[in-house]
Amino acid sequence: MRHRFHAICPYFAMFPESFAERWISELTRPGDVVLDPFSGRGTTATCALLMQRRAIACDVNDVAYCLTRAKTNAPALATLKRRLTILQSGYVATKWREAVEAAPEFFRYAFHDETLSQLLYLRSELKWKSSRCDGMVAALVLGSLHGEMDKSSSYFSNQMPRTISTKPAYSVRFWQERELVAPQRDVFGLLRARAIYRYETPPPTGDAVILHRDMRQLTRLTETLPGPINCAIMSPPYLDVTNFEEDQWLRLWFLGGPTHPTRGRLSRDDRHESSDAYWRFIADMWRSMGQVMGHRANVVVRLGSRITSPEKLQHLLVASSRFSGRDVKLVHQEISELKNRQTDAFRPGTKGCLVEIDCHFQFDIGNMVRHTPTSETLV
Ligand SMILES: C[S@@+](CC[C@H](N)C(=O)[O-])C[C@H]1O[C@@H](n2cnc3c(N)ncnc32)[C@H](O)[C@@H]1O
């Protein structure tokens, strides 16, 4: 059975667990340390724990940090249910009426007043950064915050895509033109049901270090990381595809962010409309990887772009690997075509990529001792 934590919340440009599982099983052994420096929804770290490896994950985005930490540091279901009961009993609808009425137009169309009232209360009450339990409640809210109205009743919003949050003016126009009205949802009831459903597969356990920062700062933390890092499985932001801050603005709002989309607040490197800046970023990525990865470590990179051919992507990725300052070789590569992008259904022509490449690199193969050691060399 698929682990129920994987689908807690979708993430744009996420990879499926089969991708992480395949490489973890091919390249590592139980107890090894697996890193994902761009963790997104936390699939690498979750799979690593489920496969008895240790995990390190890092991301600049609050949504990514919240999801990855919740999946890898989950509270017990009984604790989670208790917390939901306490939260529900502390909720007084009348206290939130003024805040609901003062909310920007987008929120009045996006959510039924009663749903918005409960969301505003949870947003102010949850200590998602400091409490594991509140972190899981927040992750469950993020997973239900927006999505399709027709397919299931588990989303709080008016009609929206699940993966990205559409922009306020566009969304309001979309709802007005189609006369779509936000459904009334019992947020607490829905969260309890989601919690029970997600915990039908036992939560992953084991050592996980989840970092909320720019991956280029990993080099400053090598002392505190469980090392050596044996393997990295990752997909950096894609060239000219999405902005993880702007396109997740509603989830970021729930976690305490502004009531409108932003760019460059969390990271200036989230979208790279210029190829030069992008490849400078990828060179920086390799520089950091060169400093943190263990001897003969493996690195698997999934990369996509709308504007660069797979051949050129691969060429530039391999060329930039020399910035690691280490001997690094491309062992294997695959190209896959993407179909059925979810955002197409809502915003035809949105920036998605059509092709992705997977490249498997290994450090220090050139430094291998090639002769069979004799008893003399072993002494
Ligand atoms: C393609 S997504 C990763 C998706 C992930 N593999 C998954 O399955 O959900 C790229 C991620 O890199 C993060 N990111 C962008 N710049 C970063 C940086 N300098 N350091 C760490 N994370 C960064 C973005 O926030 C985004 O979550």
Residue by residue, DSSP assigns 311-364 as HHHHHHHHHHGGGGSS-EEEEEEEEEE----HHHHHSTT----SEEEEEEEEES
pLDDT at residue number 369: 43
> Best of 17, 23, 61, 281 to mutate for ligand 1, by most ligand atoms within 8 A of CB?
61
Calpha distance 232→33 (Å, rounded)? 9
Condensed to tens digits (0 to 9), the pLDDT of residues 166-182 reads 999 999 999 999 999 99
Condensed to tens digits (0 to 9), the pLDDT of residues 313-336 reads 999 999 999 999 999 999 999 987
Condensed to tens digits (0 to 9), the pLDDT of residues 46-60 reads 999 999 999 999 999
Token pair 């060239």 is found at 239
* Mean pLDDT of the chain, nearest integer: 90
- For residue 269, name the pLDDT band (cuts at 50, 70, 90): low
Mean pLDDT along residues 290-301: 96
215: Cβ below 6 Å to ligand 1? yes
pLDDT at residue number 210: 96
Where b means 16+ CB within 10 Å and e means fewer, 182-216 reads beebebbebbbebbeebbeeebbebebbbbbebbb
Min mean pLDDT across 12-21, 41-50, 138-147 is at 12-21
Beta strand pairing call for 208-211 and 293-305: unpaired
pLDDT at residue number 209: 95
Share of the chain above pLDDT 90, in %: 75
Kindly give the distance from the C-alpha atom of residue 234 to the centroid of ligand 1, in angstroms, as a whole number: 8
Q: Would you say residue 164 has pLDDT above 60?
A: yes
Integer-rounded Cα radius of gyration of the chain: 22
Kindly give the distance from the C-alpha atom of residue 39 to the centroid of ligand 1, in angstroms, as a whole number: 6
> CA angle 320-326-327, nearest 5°?
90
For residue 228, cis peptide bond before it (omega within 30 degrees of 0): yes
pLDDT at residue number 371: 37
The tokens describing 151, both together, are 């397919």
15: Cβ below 6 Å to ligand 1? yes
Among 130, 140, 129, CA closest to 84: 140
Kindly give the distance from the C-alpha atom of residue 265 to the centroid of ligand 1, in angstroms, as a whole number: 15
Whole-model pTM over 0.85: yes
| Domain segments of the chain as ranges | 17-73+208-244+273-363, 77-198
- For residue 353, name the pLDDT band (cuts at 50, 70, 90): low
pLDDT at residue number 267: 76
- For residue 344, name the pLDDT band (cuts at 50, 70, 90): very low
Mean pLDDT along residues 56-72: 97
pLDDT at residue number 355: 76
Check residues 153 and 252 and name the one with the higher pLDDT.
Answer: 252
**Closest ligand 1 atom to Cα of 64:** 27
Q: Would you say residue 35 has pLDDT above 70?
A: yes
Check residues 54 and 370 and name the one with the higher pLDDT.
Answer: 54
Min mean pLDDT across 56-70, 119-133, 217-231 is at 217-231
201 φ/ψ angles, rounded to the nearest 5 degrees: -105, 135
Q: Which residues pair with 211 in a beta bridge?
A: 58
Q: Would you say residue 151 has pLDDT above 90?
A: no
Check residues 60 and 270 and name the one with the higher pLDDT.
Answer: 60
**What is the second-level CATH architecture of the domain 17-73+208-244+273-363?**
3-Layer(aba) Sandwich (3.40)
| H helix or E strand, kind and range, residue 284 | helix 275-292
Token pair 């936390």 is found at 42
Q: Where are the beta strands (DSSP E) in the chain?
A: 33-36, 54-58, 208-211, 229-234, 293-305, 328-337, 355-363
pLDDT at residue number 150: 73
14: Cβ below 6 Å to ligand 1? yes
